[in-house]
Amino acid sequence: MKIHKEGRKILFFTLLGLLVVNMLLYYFNSEHLTFNRIFSGISFIVFLLILQFFRSPYRNLLLHEDLVVAPADGKVVVIENVEEPEYFKDTRKQISIFMSPINVHITRNPVSGIVKYFKYHPGNYFVAWHPKSSTKNERTTVVVESLAGPQVLFRQIAGAMARRIVWYVTEGDEVNQGEEFGFIKFGSRVDIFVPVDTEVKVQLGQKTKGGQTVIAQLKTTV
């Protein structure tokens, strides 16, 4: 397992800061050895928690042009038909995956194809399961014209803890299913919008693995 590039600087400065604080405690607070040891233990746990958040495990990616794979690790929290107001401006089937702080936070392309639309939206930081998070939180919107024909829209959505969304795609890019398109730091969710006649392959509450779990099957139009 590797450490994701988005976490290397954070991990370096976190480790450096914790080491400095612990060294100062042992130097200036040497008479309270028990407190110093407890603080060192807490520092170690904090660093391990941040370390696991930025892990980048190897994945055997599932590739098929009419399948939609999970763009992230997490849990399915929404499956419903909704009005998509930004790009399609009609009814679409929405599938949402909530990413807890202990999940891998790499976000992956759910389909292969061409990026037809991209937009970054600054916004609020409601908790990721809040109904307003999809339209009010900081987020990105990506639309890919899949190899199967239908266009698939997906959003990275910041949550209460997430304060930075990173993306690696722009309009016109050719993207491959399962490859990274971004990263969300410290907890959030991803929404996917597909045509209403798409066959959903997951259930509410089901756990997903990015790049591996099949969440839907598109109706082929090409």
CA–CA dist 204, 76 (Å, integer): 5
End-to-end CA distance of the chain: 38
Residue 130 is classified by DSSP as S
From 43, 96, 134, 188, the catalytic residue: 188
Residue 100's φ and ψ, nearest 5 degrees, are -80, 165
Return the closest-CA partner of residue 146 out of 65, 90, 214: 65
Chain-centre distance for alpha carbon 149: 25
Residue 181 · residue 142 · CB < 8 Å: yes
Distances (CA, A) of 221 to 113, 137, 151: 14, 33, 10
Return the closest-CA partner of residue 192 out of 174, 171, 213: 213
Residue 209 · residue 58 · CB < 8 Å: no
Q: Would you tell me how many other CB atoms lie within 10 Å of the CB of residue 148?
A: 20
**Is 56 part of the annotated catalytic residue set?**
no
Residue 53 · residue 189 · CB < 8 Å: no
Catalytic residues: 188
